Structure 1
């Protein structure tokens, strides 16, 4: 009985020590660092962490939030495998064609502002500000006088023309049809006039404060509409031959990878940007519902056909080490598997793939390294050891 108990205790200690020895630790920042005991990363000095192995599943399953955090985007390999993809850094900017500058049409004092801060939405017909203007009082009195004269001499076309001219002046100085009708009804000039918005937009600039005197033509507000935006991207002058006006681009906004946009190049700036060797290309992008705002970063993919029957992927999509090169494929939404490929020469557009990919494969073009790190953390091994060959 004692012997059996002693053996059982000895076996339990052996199993515990074996389980402890089977633990593997890695660095969250450098997943290639693997140790069988706790310690610090020899590269960055961070504490090593224990990872959970899940070797039963060949790939990785990520939910929507994880995909958004990893900033994962994909592209499909087209039939014929003659696709070249170049990723450019881009950004969203306001479309000047949808920008409205509001200036003061008369000299006066801003008595009240109904819009007080930038970023505030403005609807067409909404009151913007109230101005006290002696010039407007003079125009109103001229209109009232012309109204009375036209009423007294209805047969005289001269008075009718004077009334029409006086009315047109009020319209040109910012008076609405409703304000003019009210002036006719009350027959009394009003020095405090409210100006209404002629367009819908968002306040981008506010250049005036309450109580401030303004001259005729002084800038007051700038309104921007975001129904459509400009996408601007940078390219090197040596790459200009690969992009032409009217060429189609694919745009992805980080966080909205499931809503890629197809746009066409509308303008290529022929001058280099100041202090750089970069040119700028531009395209107009629809913005349904105004979900995107100027200033957001954008990934601009230039897809073109190559003369050679090869595939060119962005450099970030191809992971290389001493064992070779691999990419990540999206087998279904949120499920990713590594694939061994044979990488060729690196071009300006990216890395040439000689073999390993087939038409219809959907390749991860951004976020591949984060998938690699997650794989090592969960499975404790290099994806190259389990990746399939195409």
Structure 2
């Protein structure tokens, strides 16, 4: 026997001995099995590499491995992970209790100071003419009630004055009253009319006075300009009372209402606050910013608040009814789902989906998915979720459902023979074998979770159109021989907008070896049996 033969023989013997030791360590002895069987009856048997492959008696998995018994105290829900106390401490995992109470809401937003529109007066001419003289030169100039704003030359006003003089000359009381009313309607002051009656001299221009005291805004006229009725020449606003128009995001609009207290702060006056209430909530949203507007009226006796200033608004509101509340930091939000990590005790955790209601600064209202008194993870939950979400169904199992599962663990899906449609992404194309490796969504009709597996493709499907990375919808059928086959394919027109489910996002994090094994669960095993036959 030469040296090479001795080496090969030694290696073979060593491998056999090692395999025997591993088998002995992993297989329970007869006494242990008997004792366990006498105390506990297995709920079902499961494949070591595929927890979704369950049977009601011992046997082989699709990969040829012995099925493992699952007992009542070891039957964790899908997606449940267990972490040792040392790892929990190192990760800094913290939990909080789900509580019921009133949601303390504070909506923080911004706003702008503007004139009180109820006290804003617009100045417009009632006759056509030309601006002979402008007494107010710029926007922002203060004016006093009765102070002249501009002098207007108008042929219409000149004619109206002459009509009054003619009526006075004839001493016709009816014509005098009619001419006087016309001059008043054309915005001529009573003082000017009385002066005209005394002097009997027509004024070439008339002076328009300020209707109220305030500040000129939106000055849109200059000397020499031709004006006519309907033109807004300027506005006069008061500063003793102002409005603050705030903007609230669409999702926050339901949290606020008229009468809610508001605290106003301005960078212009650090350390000073104004207290007010929401006077009005505007009925429509801004289509550009998707915000709703609110109005807060504030007294401004010292004229510190000036139109155009930027303000910070803190709106205090509180819900009347109690709600189920969790800390805001515990909520995990993805593009298509909201979920939390539930602490099950004994180092076990699971990601579950929740329905979110109102969101405050510190708390979140939970509509469905949690019960009062349960504990959720508030720190390091993203690390735990990244692991749990790989296999989690994100569903809560109530006590009734648990008991129902234990009594019906051996039941197969009633519609397993019916074809199903599911959204999927092509992971690999094996054209020579007419097979596809798909990463597909969960199939509730067949009680399949989202996973990656291989499928045979029917002859009627054109393989040339199928490329790796493509998002599509496929119809899967279960043949009589147990083979799962893609019978129909639908390719969306715009694949860029196709969103894969959240479960599949985490599926990308799985090891390639694991995805390959999952893909062999049905397709590869059936192919091997077919080739063997």
Distance 1:246 1:133, change over 3 A: same
**Partner Cα separation in structure 2 for residue 221 and residue 181 of structure 1:** 28
Shift of 1:296: 0.9
User: 2:107 touches 2:252 (CA, 8 Å); kept in 1?
Assistant: no
Q: Aligned equivalents of 2:263 and 2:285: distance in 1? A: 24
Equivalent in the alignment of 2:178: 165
2:245 is paired with a residue of what secondary structure?
strand
Equivalent residue for 2:190, pick from 162, 177, 197: 177
Shift of 1:127: 0.6
Q: Residue in 2 aligned with 1:136?
A: 157
What SS does the aligned partner of 2:175 have? helix
Unmatched runs of 5 consecutive residues or more in structure 2: 1-101, 329-357, 364-533
Equivalent residues in 2 for 1:11-30 (5 A)? none
Alignment partner for residue 266 of structure 2, among 253, 257, 262?
253
CA contact (8 A) 1:128 1:195 kept: yes
Asked if the contact 2:260–2:317 (Cα under 8 Å) also holds between the matched residues in 1, the reply is: no
Note the C-alpha offset of 1:197: 1.0
SS of the aligned residue for 1:290 comes to coil
User: What 5-or-longer segments of structure 1 have no aligned partner?
Assistant: 1-80, 151-158, 314-346, 353-390
Tell whether 2:213 aligns with 1:200. Answer: yes
The residue number in structure 2 matching 1:125 is 146
How far the C-alpha of 1:138 sits from its partner, in A, is 0.8
- Whether the aligned pair in 2 keeps the contact of 1:139 and 1:170 (CA below 8 Å) is yes
SS in 2 for 1:166: helix
Listed one character per residue, the Cα deviations across residues 203-240 of structure 1 (whole Å, up to 9, x for unaligned) are 11122211122223332222222222221222222222
224, 227, 241: which one aligns with 2:254: 241
Q: In the alignment, what sits opposite 1:351?
A: 362
Q: Which residue of 2 aligns with 1:90?
A: 111
1:181: how far off?
A: 1.5
Whether 1:272 aligns to 2:272 is no
Query: How far is the alpha carbon of 1:84 from its aligned partner?
Result: 4.1
Matched, 1:213 2:217: no
Q: Is the 8 A contact 1:98 1:226 kept in 2?
A: no
Instruction: Kindly indicate whether the alpha-carbon contact (under 8 Å) linking 1:88 and 1:301 is maintained by their aligned counterparts in 2.
Output: yes
- Aligned 8 A contact 2:261 2:315 in 1: yes
CA distance in 2, matches of 1:193, 1:132: 7
Give the Cα separation in 1 of the matches to 2:288 and 2:188. 48
Contact 2:261 2:317 in 1 (8 A): no
Structure 1 distance, partners of 2:289, 2:207, is 48
Helix, strand or coil at the partner of 1:219: coil
Aligned to 2:168: 147
How many residues matched?
234
- Do the aligned partners of residues 257 and 82 (structure 1) sit closer, same or farther apart at CA in structure 2, a change above 3 Å counting? farther
Rounded Cα–Cα distance in structure 2 between residues aligned with 1:285 and 1:109: 39
SS at match of 1:267: strand
Offset at residue 149 of structure 1 (A): 2.5
Partner SS, residue 295 of structure 2:
strand
- Mapped to 1, the partners of 2:323 and 2:271 lie a distance apart of 31
- Residues 239 and 306 of structure 2 are in contact (CA less than 8 Å); yes or no, is this contact kept in structure 1? yes
Q: CA deviation at 1:177?
A: 1.5
| TM-score, length basis structure 2 | 0.40
Query: Quick check: 1:286 aligned with 2:296?
Result: no
* Greater C-alpha Rg: 2
**d(CA) in 1 for partners of 2:324 and 2:359?**
17
Q: Distance in 2 between matches of 1:242 and 1:203?
A: 37
For the residues of structure 1 that align with 2:246 and 2:211, how far apart are their CA atoms? 33
Provide the secondary structure at the position in 1 that maps to 2:285. coil
Q: What is the CA deviation profile of residues 183-215 of structure 1, one whole-angstrom value per residue up to 9, with x for unaligned ones?
A: 112111111211111112211112221112222
Alpha carbons 1:103, 1:220 under 8 Å: kept: yes
Change (3 A) 1:272 1:149: same
Q: Comparing both chains, which one has the higher relative contact order based on Cα–Cα distances under 8 Å and sequence gaps of 6 or more?
A: 1
Mapped to 1, the partners of 2:103 and 2:251 lie a distance apart of 22
SS at match of 2:164: helix
